[in-house]
Structure 1
């Protein structure tokens, strides 16, 4: 059997990577336990693969103790196995999308043909198609569209002026959001962060206060993902204050307010403040009741369905398996079939993790397979799915679970 350090990084557990990072600092397990706040027994179980190291708050605690980025523990980005042709195809456009992001803010210097071909109606249709692939979890198709689309959007903001230029910036911000989600789902976190910065800048050029706030929703997520809860909270609180000061309760305002309360609930859940997390969830649910239906303002889905999905995510984030399973069984039955595959797949990932925390490994595996059917590449690239599957494989070599692990590239 190959030595741990000779194994492909994607086939290692988070615990094995944690051990490697600990040894790099010349720490023993006791020192890591003291620095992270976890027990020596817990550190040993994580490193040996007896306990799944998949919860964000735990990973963040170790990354802060070791002064490393969380992805150094999760191993992202992953490279799909050669057998996963769809996964390989999804990655094919990463380099071209990255180049388009790097060109942001530079003079587009369009050719005469490019300048003459700019048409906002056509661009609007192309952005809508990209968002359709994004919500449909079609990462390969999204990646195929993005490089040329981003180039044409960058040309459009150079060509137009006045209101039409502001509209072009709105479309550009949406294009960058698609790029951000494409890169994030493929585990390219640093490139996704770059895309988020482009979203913010472009949204500000629209001079639409709600459009700017919708971009800050993603900005808060960037800080949340690295455990900077105070910074994420400051962005969220600022947005909620701005929204609260607006007089008219338009559907867009209500929807954004609810979305920020959901983001606040996640921020508090990862900061292990369960009371604040539930408080913000209830506030989001009140906004959803005001709307009465699901909306997709600025491509931020919000409404009763989204609140129901997040009600499962929060106890999962806090490792409360029993509560998460209880909520999941109610939510899953009511989940509309027409709801975006991307969101439904993430729900089933949360359901799988909930079952795992509750000791129901067969049910966890079945939920992961449902998520994979809806969003193959995003599910196989999901850090929590990979780590939990690794840990379940440590306990059993069931054929179907082993085959799933092979599709993930963890065995």
Structure 2
């Protein structure tokens, strides 16, 4: 962020704030994440009023709205999370394509991936599956594709579709093994699948549990 300021690249500063907010979320400092992101959104909107809007502006602004959706979803604030998803959708429609400005991967597809994740965080598994199962994320990074599959696995688990949940997690693992092996949400799903299956757990599930250290 400091380097972006010194280089006269304000959008780099806003992208840095986005990543800072992610760190706050991982630390469960949701108030700090919200404060940083709201401040950035307000500042960026003011900046855009005085400058010509570019795709880069839209990418950063939309990503900040997605960050707020994540924060509100983790706090269980349903209406606020949904509002931010809709805000991001509007920005994505204005952008009109999937881009990767500042490695944010913002665009219509990534908004829907985040909408799936938000719905799962809020316990709306049916909505998550309705959005995610017909979504083509092949143009995005392996990480985003795997994230979608992981969240579909979480949604299937909430709906007690255990076979589909395992299939989604295995597909995600094939794309991004390290993410599935270390991500807290993925490990929690695998642990729940093991608890439900008990002694009837399949060899595939047991092996996945071993790889994610979810046997305990």
Does the TM-score normalized on the shorter chain lie above 0.5? Answer: yes
Equivalent position SS for 1:265? helix
Q: In structure 1, which of residues 385, 389, 396 is the aligned counterpart of residue 190 of structure 2?
A: 389
CA deviation vs aligned residue, 1:173-207 (integer Å, no higher than 9, x gap): xxxxxxxxxxxxxxxxxxxxxxxxxxx33333323
CA deviation vs aligned residue, 1:127-179 (integer Å, no higher than 9, x gap): xxxxxxxxxxxxxxxxxxxxxxxxxxxxxxxxxxxxxxxxxxxxxxxxxxxxx
Structure 1 partner of 2:150: 349
User: Unpaired segments of 5 or more residues in structure 1?
Assistant: 1-199
Equivalent position SS for 1:330? coil
**Is the contact made by 2:105 and 2:140 (CA closer than 8 Å) also made in structure 1?**
no
Structure 2 partner of 1:234: 35
Q: Which has the larger radius of gyration?
A: 1
**Cα-Cα RMSD:** 1.4
**Is the contact made by 1:321 and 1:355 (CA closer than 8 Å) also made in structure 2?**
yes
Q: In structure 1, which of residues 248, 270, 278 is the aligned counterpart of residue 74 of structure 2?
A: 270
Structure 1 partner of 2:171: 370
Tell me the matched-pair count.
209
Give, in whole Å, the separation in 1 of the partners of 2:114 and 2:208: 26
User: Unpaired segments of 5 or more residues in structure 2?
Assistant: none
**Is the contact made by 1:325 and 1:358 (CA closer than 8 Å) also made in structure 2?**
no
- Aligned ranges for residues 9-408 of structure 1 at < 5 Å? 200-246=1-47, 247=50, 248-331=52-135, 335-396=136-197, 397-408=201-212
Q: TM-score, normalised by structure 2?
A: 0.91
Give, in whole Å, the separation in 2 of the partners of 1:378 and 1:349: 9
TM-superposed CA distance for 1:236, in Å, is 1.0
Change (3 A) 1:271 1:409: closer
Higher mean C-alpha displacement, 388-397 vs 368-377: 388-397
Q: TM-score, normalised by structure 1?
A: 0.49
Give, in whole Å, the separation in 2 of the partners of 1:283 and 1:391: 34
Give, in whole Å, the separation in 1 of the partners of 2:63 and 2:37: 10
RCO higher in 1 or 2 (8 Å CA, sep ≥ 6)?
Answer: 1
